[in-house]
Chains A and B, each alone.
Chain A
Amino acid sequence: MSESKKWKKINKSVKERPKVQEYRNWKELSPIPISLPIEGNMGITGDWRTFRPIIKEGCNKCGICWIYCPEGVIKRKEDGSFEINLTYCKGCGICAKECPTNNIEMVRESDIKDD
Chain B
Amino acid sequence: MKSTNFFRKTFNRVNPNMTLIILLLVVLAIVSLLFGLGLGPISVNPGTVGKILLSKLPVIGKSIPHTWQQLDENIVIGLRLPRVCLGLIVGASLAVIGVTMQALVRNPLADPFILGVSSGAAASATLGMLFGVFSFLGRYSLSISAFIGSAVTIIFVYTISRVNGRINITQLLLSGVAISMIMDGVTRIITLSAPNALGLHNATFWMSGSLAGAKWGYLTLPLVVLLLCMILLMINYRGLNLLLLGDESAGSLGINVQRLQKMLVLIASLMAGVTIAVSGSIGFVGLMVPHFTRLLVGGDHRRVLPISALLGGILVVWVDVAARMLLAPEELPVGILTAIIGGPLFIFLLKRNTREKKVIAR
**Do A and B bind?**
no
Task: Using CB atoms and an 8 Å cutoff, list the residues of chain B in contact with chain A.
Answer: none
Task: Using CB atoms and an 8 Å cutoff, list the residues of chain A in contact with chain B.
Answer: none
